[in-house]
Amino acid sequence: MKITIVGAGYVGLVSAACFAELGNHVLCVDRDAGRVERLKQAQVPIFEPGLPELVAKNNGAGRLVFTTDMKAGVAHADILFIAVGTPPAGDSSADIGQVLAVADAIGESLSRFLVVVDKSTVPVGTADKVRETISRAMKRRARREKPGRRPPEFTVVSNPEFLKEGAAVEDFMRPDRVVIGVSDDAAGRKAEALMRQVYAPFNRNRERLIVMDVRSAELTKYAANALLATKISFMNDMANLADALGADIEKVRQGIGSDRRIGYDFIYAGLGYGGSCFPKDVAALCHTAREHGERMRVVEAVRAVNDAQKRRFVERIEDYFGGSLQGKVIALWGLAFKPATDDVREAPSRYIVRRLVALGARIQAHDPQVRSLEQLMPAENVARLGRHVDFAADPMQAACGADALVIATEWKVYRSPDFPALRRLLRQPVIFDGRNLFDPADMKRLGFFYQGVGRRSAP
């Protein structure tokens, strides 16, 4: 099948490479000419395990082609996926400007029946706006070119992505489910048949396609992310209670995770959620509810707990040092919002760095994929923080001469350090573990002061 993906970002590039791997002819369109040229050379701009190999393989085989030519993308496609960014706007809503710009460009070039698929995470009702935008562009073009000519048909489908960063290729190729939202008309039925065809390779063992109306599909994405974020914030609330009661949240996690109705996923206490999805999607869902006269009281509380969790963690560090971090050196292990990615959007580490520096500390940081302050922070923060933050080549170098070690991301490389060597390198044997990597009793035996999240400290 001929597929066009508009947007060579995280979702678009993973989708393009995986569809090409399944034998489709995929044209990936992006407006960033520099990115397109790098991708033509199989230079992948994001860190995602397995993705560079897929891009190189299918690029070399001619099944995956990159271009900036939107008209060529429309002409190529049986199905066109919109996978551009929907960043948060100033009012917490999702900015769908890029989505609608693509829709306008589609209307300017459309010449035959086309299935247009919203793959980006978009608010409920976006498919209607995409349909209206394409129709307006087609009418504008018709008035300009051949008035009275019957316009080609198209339909808009919702096909939300459910990819985890760090496991996106695996998630795409072995999905739990594929949600498709189609309209209840002839064009919608034709679109459903084409979508079933393109996703047929995923259904060999069992049916994974879930077909519904468009608005329900759009809401499904937000509902899924909000519920997963709720589990994280719930466990962090419980971790704070465990601190107050002298309980161990890891034992609690094992006790409730064994219940099949709950499960073990997303119930690890820590610094809260970050990344490109949960923060903006939770905020956007709350904004959508307010627009329609509703309040998402549980989801609003999820946001509040998540914001407070980072503050509480830094306050623990501040309290340990008597309320002042002036002149202290803090080793920071982990900057990406989660392991196996280089994504720092809404990463807890960003707040930790800004706050510790504001309190007078100097940071010695290490992350396997985030290696500079420019990569970590918005440009306006780099100059202000630059002289207070150093980057180390390895975790032990970051720990050398530090008054405390802070762990913000649970990379595997941090799980089994040489603890005697670590104790010698640290100026003070103090660990604040925001990801509960270690056992407090073991840390006490090894001579560390250890503070996890929701676990009894080991003085």
Q: 56: which 2 tokens?
A: 């190189």
Residues 6+ apart with CB under 8 A from 387: none
Q: Which amino acid makes up residue 457?
A: S
Q: Residue 151 has what DSSP assignment? A: P
Catalytic positions: 277
Between the alpha carbon of residue 400 and those of residues 200, 316, 332, 409, the distances in Å are 54, 22, 11, 19
At residue 290's C-alpha, the angle toward residues 289 and 291, to 5°, is: 90
The answer to whether 218 touches 122, Cβ cutoff 8 Å, is yes
Rounded Cα distance between 18 and 418, Å, is 39
Q: 373: which 2 tokens?
A: 């302050």
Q: Spell out where 108-208 has E strands.
A: 114-118, 154-158, 178-181
Q: Residue 412: how many CB atoms within 10 A of its CB?
A: 10
Sign of the Cα pseudo-torsion (301, 254, 271, 283, in order): negative
Rounded Cα distance between 306 and 380, Å, is 24
Q: Residue 36: how many CB atoms within 10 A of its CB?
A: 18
Q: Residue 88: how many CB atoms within 10 A of its CB?
A: 16
Q: Which amino acid makes up residue 136?
A: R
For 309, the enclosing helix (H) or strand (E) is helix 297-320
Residue with the two structure tokens 């209307």: 107
The number of residues making up the chain comes to 459
Q: Residue 88 has what DSSP assignment? A: B
Residue with the two structure tokens 């980072």: 310
